[in-house]
């Protein structure tokens, strides 16, 4: 196990990361970190096409700021493209945004978040949403694609909309700045589940049931309430307290019942510690890759920290390893998570993050190779080899993908096993 006080290894090849290498293509180098987005559909007052909202969250760590006259400014563009099942374009929208900060520390603050909402009306059906974020100062970009079924909402027919998570309970208009991504809901005292329910005419009752289940099937939250319907479309706010939130993957089941009819929706979500993020990632996700470079004592402190302590333990961990103590920018921190990001973008497959792969592990510890050789699959085998050479370190790593699925396993090379 390599210890973190030997992390000078991480700075070897930093220039290669900046100017490119045999491993990372020029196109991939332009990619931004993964941004958050949410696509949800709600009924309209006319009950024609549903309103489909796309929320996009852009963090300061996604952007390159330029300093001028003591003001830091960034410009970026968001493009939304919607295609039908046949691949034909249905709608597109482009918007350009400008943001400013008064000091450098704010420009690299991962908690600084810009929320944008795009509203569309499309007929019921299956669509592909392509969401592209382009940083206009660096020309780096990232596109994410999601399939979405837009449902129909009919008047006088019991129906429940998609679900949003918000930080404020209000019976009026939902403000964009109060909406939070379901992929990183902070463990804090007040988070609300928001949905809209269509009430049948002359309905006498409405019962709302919600259940929160953890990944292992355990129920962490169960709520039931009966209300008297007063409108055709009823807005529902359900509070989830911090005691009901368990970090990690969860599923929310929301069921409404009226006069014997029942409708239900399911929502995948993820709770993160205290809402604190670094470099656009939850602290939980940033701790994992450190297993490759830290010793047993520090690793136990990180993984055994409670939800309340995790943020401060993580901060202290990196503050003691800042090459320039007192500086707001820790180049070792930046280099490490730059490598983690590159592994996730280049080596992940199926549902496995790139940093958890053998190639990802070697890349994080040693950086990009000086030279890379790759074999091609033969007529008799789908197997493929990659050989990474580190000339100055006199190291060579051989990876083999036996079935051609991108699962390159380390078959030769001098790296010690992780805990």
Per-10-residue mean pLDDT of the chain, 419 residues long, equals 42 36 39 83 86 93 85 95 93 96 78 91 93 92 91 89 88 81 83 90 85 79 79 86 80 90 91 57 80 89 85 87 78 85 77 86 90 71 83 90 84 64
pLDDT reported for residue 10: 44
pLDDT reported for residue 129: 96
pLDDT reported for residue 324: 82
**What is the separation, in whole angstroms, between the first and last Cα of the chain?**
8
Helix (H, G, I), strand (E, B) or coil at 209: strand
Picking from 174, 61, 171, 35, the residue whose alpha carbon sits closest to that of residue 117 is 174
pLDDT reported for residue 376: 66
Neighbouring C-alpha atoms within 13 Å toward the C-beta of 282 = 21
CB neighbours of residue 181 within 10 Å: 19
194-236 pLDDT per residue, tens: 999 998 888 888 899 988 888 777 777 788 888 877 778 888 8
What's the rounded Cα separation, in Å, for the pair 188 and 239? Answer: 11
Q: Residue for token digits 């355990």? A: 218
What H or E segment, with its residue span, contains residue 66? Answer: strand 66-68
pLDDT reported for residue 25: 35
What's the rounded Cα separation, in Å, for the pair 357 and 33? Answer: 19
What's the rounded Cα separation, in Å, for the pair 44 and 232? Answer: 11
Picking from 107, 261, 97, the residue whose alpha carbon sits closest to that of residue 176 is 97
pLDDT reported for residue 248: 77
Q: What is the set of domains in the chain, with CATH numbers? A: 4-28+279-412 (no CATH), 34-151 (2.60.40.10), 154-274 (2.60.40.3880)
Predicted TM-score (pTM) of the model is 0.65
What is the DSSP annotation of 340-360? HHHHHHHT-BTTB-GGGSHHH
Q: How many angstroms from the chain centroid is the CA of residue 78?
A: 17
Which residues are 236's β-sheet partners?
Answer: 195
């Amino acid at each position: 196990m390599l210890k973190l006080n030997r992390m000078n290894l991480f700075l070897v090849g930093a220039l290669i990361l900046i100017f490119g290498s045999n491993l990372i293509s020029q196109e991939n180098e332009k990619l931004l970190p993964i941004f958050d987005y949410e696509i949800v559909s709600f009924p309209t007052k006319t009950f024609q096409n549903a309103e489909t909202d796309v929320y996009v969250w852009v963090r300061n760590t996604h952007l390159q700021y330029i300093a001028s006259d003591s003001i830091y400014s960034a410009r970026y563009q968001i493009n939304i493209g919607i295609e039908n099942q046949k691949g034909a374009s249905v709608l597109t929208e482009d918007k350009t945004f400008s943001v400013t900060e008064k000091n450098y520390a704010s420009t690299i603050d991962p908690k600084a978040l810009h929320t944008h909402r795009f509203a569309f009306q499309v007929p019921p059906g299956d669509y592909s949403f392509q969401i592209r974020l382009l940083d206009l100062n660096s020309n780096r970009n990232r596109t994410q694609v999601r399939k979405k079924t837009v449902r129909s909402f009919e008047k006088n027919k019991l129906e429940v909309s998609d679900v949003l998570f918000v930080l404020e309970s209000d019976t009026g208009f939902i403000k964009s700045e109060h909406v939070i991504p379901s992929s990183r809901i902070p463990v804090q005292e007040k988070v609300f589940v928001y949905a809209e329910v269509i009430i049948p005419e002359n309905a006498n009752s409405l019962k709302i049931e919600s259940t929160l289940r953890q990944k292992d099937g355990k129920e962490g939250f169960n709520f039931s309430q009966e209300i008297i319907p007063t409108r055709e479309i009823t807005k529902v706010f359900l509070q989830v307290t911090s005691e009901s939130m368990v970090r990690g993957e969860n599923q929310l089941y929301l069921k409404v019942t009226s006069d014997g009819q029942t409708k239900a929706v399911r929502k995948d979500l993820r709770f993160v510690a205290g809402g604190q993020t670094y470099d656009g990632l939850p602290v939980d996700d940033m701790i994992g890759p450190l297993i490759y470079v830290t010793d047993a004592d520090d690793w136990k402190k990180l993984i055994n920290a409670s939800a309340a302590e995790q943020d401060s333990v993580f901060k202290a961990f990196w503050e003691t390893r800042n090459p320039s103590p007192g500086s707001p920018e820790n180049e070792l921190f930046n280099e490490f998570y730059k490598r983690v990001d590159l592994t996730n973008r280049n080596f992940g497959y199926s549902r496995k993050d790139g940093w958890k792969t053998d190639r990802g592990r070697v890349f994080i510890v040693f950086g990009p190779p000086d030279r890379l050789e790759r074999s091609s699959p033969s007529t008799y085998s789908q197997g493929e080899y990659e050989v990474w050479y580190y000339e100055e370190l006199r190291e060579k790593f051989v990876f083999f993908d036996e079935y051609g699925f991108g699962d390159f396993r380390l078959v030769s090379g001098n790296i010690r096993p992780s805990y």
